[in-house]
A and B are shown apart, each in its own frame.
Chain A
């Protein structure tokens, strides 16, 4: 026994490496190589130059798409927060049974394929859907076009991403010690000031988590903007898909993909430095 322990201590432990190697090799070949391929293509397609980046960074069309994407992502994040915060608060304040019911609902929304949810919004906002129907009924003769607009894609993205925000905020809110709130109240904090100085700072980590997650996912969102949005106001991911699918312009598509990747990684790196990446998907 003693001898075994001594031997084990002397020998460098190879076990973790042995266990880790298959996955590491797999990810290197099937994840890193394709990713590096994108970076290489952005410089070499159709020929070795910086032309793709020059076009993407100076072209008015591309600048507008990048700007649109950023504004949309920020807007979606903000609306998710405005919806998610009260909902999490409602869950936190209601009886365990009601809270459970709402949580089940949110979880179900989260697990329902986002294609299903996109389709639901297509029905809701369509020309023969209930909202247009209501507008016609309420004496609007020419109701506005809702589907295939930026409004439609923004609304659907909010609906799809809201569960991320709600779950993040709720998990933080649930852990707040009620004693803190009561002591703040006994010290005279009321209404707005209680919210601003006590509740909001305590829930800030949940807000940060949820916002980063929603913003980052929204930046690279492909399906919903392509299906519900206006073809004239694409987002980055839609434009990348367009370059690959329609024009086989791998160079341009890759250059945009690299810029999208850099933006995403920058945000996540800042987040990682402050909070740690593993907490984000907690």
Chain B
């Protein structure tokens, strides 16, 4: 049984990995079609991506919208998370469910709602409209990440600061925020990625003016399967790779640099 499961597992690993790898050689293809393996290689489609406003504009839109969504999400979620994690009050469980609701509703359902609701207020095809919609979808994810961090927070540190005479506000600025910083950054990052990747709502409400990158990719795949998609895909994939591999790598490098430097400072002391 064990060997059987292990062989199946190895097949599964190949299944997970293969499609991710295939995108990279495709981006260097010089064929006009989706031929794989490509007949020849070149930088042609990279040049096309970085010079074509039809691709650069959606990229820019996506960055603006994701940044706006992140800021708005954090402004709303940070205080709410403190309320929900640190206080007990009537209706708390309802508030918890309400916060997670946007994760439970299929995006296509929200797309129909936003299409009609934002249409009535002239918010369709605007950056603001997409930001307002994406914020709803980012809230639960940012909340889940941040509340997990806040639950593990050691409150004796705050009490220690206050017993030493720090005001609640000072305690918050000098103790709570710095300790919570990694959680806040990860939470904001999740909100950003959620918006940057969101496709369905963007397809229906971003229109031509605020078209996001996923929308452009969707249209492009649907219509002509422009090989520039492979370039965008590779770039996105490399970003993910950096995001996942870089933090542990950086930590390892820093640990290696720090160890000797700490030693040298000790040696310098008379």
Q: A interface vs B, CB < 8 Å?
A: 13, 15-20, 22-24, 26-27, 30-31, 33-35, 37-38, 41, 82-91, 93, 102, 104-109, 111-124, 126, 128-130, 133, 159, 162-163, 166, 191-192, 194-195, 216, 219-220, 222-223, 226-227, 236-237, 240-241, 244-245, 250, 253-254, 257-258, 260-261, 264-265, 268, 277-278, 281
Contact = CB atoms under 8 A, between A and B. Distances in A.
B240 interface: yes
Given A23-B139, A86-B5, A257 B108 contact: yes
A191 B15 contact: no
Given A16-B83, A38-B113, A122-B221, A129 B36 contact: yes
A37 B113 contact: yes
Interface string B120-160: 00000000000011011001110010000000000000000
Interface string B88-110: 01001001111111111111111
Interface of B: 1-2, 5-13, 15-20, 22-23, 26, 33-37, 75-77, 79-80, 82-84, 86-87, 89, 92, 95-118, 132-133, 135-136, 139-141, 144, 193, 197, 199-200, 203-204, 214, 217-218, 221-222, 225, 229-230, 232-233, 236-237, 240-241, 243-245
Contacts of B217: 113, 115, 119
Contact of B240 (A90, A108, A281): A108
A124 B21 CA distance: 11
Contacts of A163: 16
A120 B34 contact: no
A24 B233 CA distance: 37
Contacts of B97: 277
Given A90-B5, A120-B22, A220-B108, 19 more contacts: A15-B83, A18-B79, A30-B132, A33-B117, A38-B109, A86-B5, A86-B11, A87-B13, A115-B199, A115-B217, A115-B221, A117-B19, A120-B19, A122-B225, A130-B36, A159-B19, A194-B1, A223-B199, A281-B144
Contact of A240 (B84, B108, B117): B108
Contact of A116 (B103, B140, B237, B243): B237
Contacts of B116: 34, 37-38, 41, 250
The 7 tightest CB contacts between A and B, nearest first, are A220-B106, A90-B9, A34-B113, A86-B8, A19-B83, A120-B19, A16-B87
B120 to A, nearest CB: 9
A254 B113 CA distance: 8
A269 B57 CA distance: 42
Given A26-B135, A257-B108, A261-B109, A105 B221 contact: no
Contacts of B133: 30
Contacts, number: 268
A125 to B, nearest CB: 10
B34 A115 contact: no
Contacts of B1: 191-192, 194-195
